[in-house]
């Protein structure tokens, strides 16, 4: 259905007149139905209707009166125009495969490569996922993506799935969290539909299974997954798996399954570096119709370092604050909106706190970190503490060196390089570093 012309013009005026948040929140959800001398605006619920009536209806009336050659009455009510509803894909009928509506496993179309931000931390995983999307069932099968929480594993996995479907309209791709896979299987056993369950998963062109570590200790589900996995791989169909840890470190999962996880391509995702965090924030803001200045984006990205979800949480706070106060999003508003978070971080992240936390973690004394002792049990924690101080505080390198027994800034630089190198090569160092970050950041 074509958008009504008068409403179209109104929208364009209102978009110019209102702040983007207000326009996107209150005006965009309205559906318009034009009937002879009447424009019916349908709000999704009474709350929106009341708000629009109170704040914007007068202006809409004026615009309609100005933009229309005849007398048009504007009517605002709660409702939904059936013609706006999208039709359900007929792919399943066309392929004759079991319906995807029977079992959970719907891809989220909003996860694409276009809205994924590439950085050093996810470059490899992104390239691999893209290849899988372009060429499913090819060389990277299974694709195993691992990394900490909130770093974008699910986004990449689903972007690969969406690309597969873009390239082949008839492809059947299912995304499922491993917990839902287990729950679905239990339900199928209870309802005596386990054969349909098996047939569905084994008939897919691509299976994307998220957070596989949740399979730990669930031997029956692992058994079923093992057979599904083999069937798909034997049929040159794609499997993508994510986990919060390297496949060999998953506990409570059968050895044969773990070894198969590693039989394709295994790629890590690390925490995003500052520039990537800035880019992610800007893109997420843009998706909500907001332009974020570099100053604000850098400010937020410096406050929130651990993962992408927390960046999103911070953005929610800032947007809510801007909506409430009606003020533009600048550094003052962002600082005020994130006050609670900053108080918490400032309390936690001092160089003394870093040294104390590292010393406690490695069971050494804080004075050891300040000392000149050069045995491995002391130097490694010291280097790690220096590296954390560089990452988590705004202190200069000479200042950091000073707090470690009057060391030179080149010592700090060397320590950071050493730890960076070890993070790539040594799983234990990586684990220690991540644990310390968690202890300090929360």
Binding site for another protein (CB under 8 A): 24-26, 28-29, 44-48, 51, 104, 106, 148-150, 177, 179-180, 183, 211, 214, 244, 288, 307-310, 312-313, 316-317, 319-321, 323-325, 340, 344, 441-442
Alpha-carbon separation of residue 275 from 117, 120, 279, 280, 298 (angstroms): 10, 10, 6, 9, 8
C-beta of 35 vs 50, nearer to another protein: 50
Least distance between another protein and beta carbon 78 (Å): 9
d(CA 209, CA 201): 11
Q: How many CA atoms lie within 13 A of 303 on its CB side?
A: 28
Q: How far is the CB of 245 from another protein (least distance, A)?
A: 11
Nearer to another protein, 140 or 200 (CB): 200
Name which of 78 and 169 has its Cβ closer to another protein. Answer: 78
Nearer to another protein, 240 or 416 (CB): 240
Task: Name 75's bridge partners.
Answer: 40
Going 410 to 412 to 415 to 420, the CA torsion angle's sign is: negative
Closer to another protein by CB, 45 or 89: give it.
45
The secondary element (H helix, E strand) that includes residue 240 is strand 238-243
Kindly tell me which of 204 and 369 has the beta carbon lying closer to another protein.
204
By the 10 Å C-beta count (0-12 exposed, 13-18 middle, 19+ buried), 363 is classed as exposed
Collapsing DSSP states into helix, strand and coil, what is residue 301?
helix
**CA 32/CA 88 separation, integer angstroms:** 22
- Our CB check for another protein shows the closer of 84 and 344 to be 344
Can you tell me which residue has the tokens 């709000």? 43
CB of 174 to another protein, least distance (A): 13
CB of 45 to another protein, least distance (A): 5
CA 396/CA 273 separation, integer angstroms: 18
Residue 437 has which token pair? 């970050």
Distance CA 381, CA 415 (A): 10
To the nearest whole angstrom, how small is the minimum distance from the Cβ of residue 321 to another protein?
A: 6
Q: How far is the CB of 31 from another protein (least distance, A)?
A: 13
Could you give the C-alpha distances from 33 to 12, 13, 46, in angstroms and in order? 17, 18, 18
Which residue number, 182 or 385, has a Cβ lying nearer to another protein? 182
Which residues, 6+ apart, have CB-to-CB distance to 31 below 8 Å? 41, 42, 79, 80, 81, 84
Shortest spacing between CB 29 and another protein, in angstroms: 5
Q: How far is the CB of 20 from another protein (least distance, A)?
A: 11
Q: State which residue, 96 or 326, has the beta carbon closest to another protein.
A: 326
Give all strands of the β-sheet with 206-210 in edge-to-edge order: 173-177, 206-210, 238-243, 143-147, 265-269
Q: How far is the CB of 51 from another protein (least distance, A)?
A: 8
Q: How far is the CB of 408 from another protein (least distance, A)?
A: 35
Distance CA 243, CA 227 (A): 20
Phi, psi of 99, deg, nearest 5: -65, 140
Q: Please, what is the minimum distance in Å from the beta carbon of residue 349 to another protein?
A: 13
In the complex with another protein, the residue whose CB is nearer, 59 or 317, is 317
Quick one: 51 exposed, middle or buried, by C-beta within 10 A (0-12, 13-18, 19+)? middle
Cross-strand bridge partners of residue 73: 38
| Residue with Cβ nearer another protein (34 or 434) | 434
CA 162: distance to chain centroid?
16
Question: DSSP character for 114?
Answer: T
């Amino acid at each position: 259905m074509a958008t009504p012309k008068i409403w179209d013009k109104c929208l364009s005026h209102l978009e110019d007149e209102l702040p983007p948040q207000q326009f996107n929140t209150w005006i965009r959800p309205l559906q318009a139905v034009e009937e002879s001398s009447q424009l019916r605006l349908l709000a999704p619920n009474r709350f929106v209707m009341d708000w629009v009536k109170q704040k914007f209806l007068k202006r809409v009336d004026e615009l309609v009166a100005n933009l229309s050659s005849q007398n048009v009455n504007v009517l605002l009510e709660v409702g939904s125009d059936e013609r706006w509803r999208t039709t359900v894909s007929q792919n399943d009928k066309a392929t004759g495969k079991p319906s995807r509506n029977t079992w959970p496993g719907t891809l989220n179309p909003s996860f694409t490569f276009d809205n994924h931000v590439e950085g050093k931390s996810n470059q490899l995983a992104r390239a691999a996922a893209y290849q899988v999307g372009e060429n499913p069932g090819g060389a990277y099968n299974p694709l195993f993506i691992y990394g900490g929480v909130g770093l974008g594993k699910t986004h990449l996995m689903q972007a690969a799935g969406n690309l597969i479907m873009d390239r082949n309209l008839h492809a059947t791709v299912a995304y499922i969290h491993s917990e839902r896979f287990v729950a679905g299987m239990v339900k199928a056993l209870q309802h005596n539909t386990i054969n349909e369950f098996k047939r569905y998963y084994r008939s897919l062109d691509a299976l994307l299974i998220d957070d596989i570590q949740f399979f730990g200790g669930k031997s029956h589900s692992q058994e079923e997954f093992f057979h599904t996995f083999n069937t798909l791989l034997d049929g040159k169909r794609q499997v993508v798996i994510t986990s919060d840890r390297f496949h060999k470190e998953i506990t409570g999962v059968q050895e044969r399954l773990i070894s198969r996880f590693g039989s394709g391509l295994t790629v890590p995702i690390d925490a995003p570096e500052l520039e990537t965090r800035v880019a992610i924030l800007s893109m997420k803001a843009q998706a909500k119709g907001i332009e974020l200045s570099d100053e604000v984006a850098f400010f937020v990205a410096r406050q929130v370092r651990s993962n992408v979800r927390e960046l999103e949480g911070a953005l929610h706070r800032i947007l809510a604050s801007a909506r409430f106060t009606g003020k533009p999003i600048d550094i003052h508003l962002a600082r005020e909106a994130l006050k609670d978070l900053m108080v918490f971080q400032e309390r936690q992240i001092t160089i003394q706190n870093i040294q104390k936390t590292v010393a406690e973690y490695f069971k050494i004394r804080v004075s050891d970190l300040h000392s000149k002792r050069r045995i491995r049990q002391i130097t490694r924690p010291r280097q790690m503490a220096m590296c954390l101080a560089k990452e988590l505080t705004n202190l200069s390198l000479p200042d950091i060196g000073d707090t470690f027994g009057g060391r030179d800034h080149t010592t700090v630089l060397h320590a950071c390089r050493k730890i960076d190198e070890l993070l790539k090569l040594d799983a234990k160092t990586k684990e220690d570093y991540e644990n310390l970050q968690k202890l300090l950041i929360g």
